[in-house]
Amino acid sequence: MPNLQNLPTVAAGISDLNATLRPITNKGIILFEIDSIKENLDLIKKIRPHLKQLYYLSDTGISSELLRPQILAAMKNYPNIKLVEIRHKTLQQTRQILAHISSDDAVLLTHFNTEVNQNIYYGYSKTAIDLSTVSKAPIVVLWNFYLKGDVLGGYVNGSYRQGVQMVDLLGRQLSDPVQINLEVKPFREPVFQYHSLKKYHIDESLLPANAVIMGQPVSFLANHYLLLSIFGSIISMLIIIIVFQFYRLKRKQEMSEKDKKIVSLQSQTLQIQKKLIHVLGNSIETRSGETGNHVKRVAQLSAYLGKLAGLSARECEVLEIISPMHDVGKIGIPEAILNKPGRLTDAERELMETHTQIGHQLLHNDDGDMIALAGIVALEHHEYWNGQGYPYKKMGENIHIYARITTVTDVFDALKSKRCYKEAWPLDKVIEYFQKNKGTQFDPTLVTLFLDNIDEFVSIRNLHPDL
């Protein structure tokens, strides 16, 4: 290739340390591939202390022939381990072998295309997936393109990183050097797949300190840190206001006539508290594609139904404050699910149902105050009277009265409202639904009170129409 003679040239992934580019160009650079054989063998011995046989998978290609002597030489340092070479078996035959080996052993997978003579060639991904899904023992590899399926990993070479360094070296050799601002990390680093660690019961403490674990699940808190921080600040502010309010109420009986101004201040504080809870409830409903007036209607409808059910004036006031927080757990549900116009899949519905527990975790505390009651409503407002609801299948009066009331008013307003997945129901259809589900989904006593006073509930709902 005389046209390359004076051109800068970089070659990478070369296993033959005697290779040279001089016949091609006098401006050539080779990035030799140095595989981490010793490191991977030490790793295998550490994660499988009872190892008796190491299954070595390779073909008869040029790269494998260059690598094989290095592996055989390194294995001399492990006289108690039997090396079982698999070089001439088909992929299917090798699958059958790995499916019956001991889980205390291990597999070292290198280049493995043993059927090229029959014009059959398998890509790296298929080889990795087909072998790892059946192997009883963990599979360790030397290159990151094998990190597929249930392959464990190991000290792997990164072809992409070699490519980045090739570009950088070429840029420096040009007559007018070009600076390439690409990050170049070490070629070899210990990389492992999280689900494979679990599959083969490998403790992370046995891995190198600088190990990279792919696919490690992120906790809900870490994934929503910023959102939860903002929400936590709002909750903290609400708690401070509520604690202040309760403290002042305890002092009410001891007040003299001259302290009546404080009572006025308490009323103002409670109104501010209601507005803050409504603002927070509105933001959650808006995120799920629902009108902000939904929480206002649920608050007033719940207070009225509580009055009909015989709750005290103070209990109705508390219910009016906390009922708008029933769906606060939706802050942890993806918007794609909240606003999906069609029917949810089973997996999506399972995720959606976790909003009750998320809301309870956000609101629950051990002080027995108003926020804790809001947490109970958030947790139980999808429980059914017959025990077929979620999340804990509570039934009857084991469900808190506040949650049972909120369930009736929330469903009533939802059925009468237009949503992304349905049109608003006519009143006769809503009444039929409650009659049908009386004693199953809903508290039968509350449904009777509700239907006997349906005109009043409709009037209250009309006070805050959807815009």
Residue 4 has pLDDT above 60, yes or no: no
Kindly state the average pLDDT of the residues 360-384.
81
Residue 223 has pLDDT above 50, yes or no: yes
Backbone angles phi and psi of 382, in degrees to 5:
-110, 10
Which band of pLDDT confidence, cut at 50, 70 and 90, is reported for residue 243?
confident
Write the CATH number of the domain with boundaries 221-462. Answer: 1.10.3210.10
Candidate ranges 22-36, 44-58, 323-337, 338-352; pick with highest mean pLDDT: 44-58
Residue 330 has pLDDT above 90, yes or no: no
- Reported as a single tens digit per residue, the pLDDT across 408-450 is 999 999 899 887 778 889 999 999 999 999 999 999 999 999 9
Q: Where in the chain are all domains bearing CATH 1.10.3210.10?
A: 221-462
Quote the DSSP letter at residue 381.
T
What per-residue confidence (pLDDT) applies to 178?
47
CB 131 within 8 A of CB 94: yes
- Indicate the pTM of the whole model: 0.44
Residue with tokens 């963990």: 138
Residue 265 has pLDDT above 50, yes or no: no
Q: Where in the chain are all domains bearing CATH 3.40.50.2300?
A: 2-214
Greater confidence, 138 or 259? 138
CA dist 326 → 258, 285, 465 (Å): 39, 10, 20
CATH superfamily for 2-214 is Response regulator (3.40.50.2300)
Q: Angle between the 401-415 and 444-452 helix axes, to the nearest 10 degrees?
A: 50
Tell me which residue of 26, 27, 31 sits closest to 12, measured CA to CA.
31
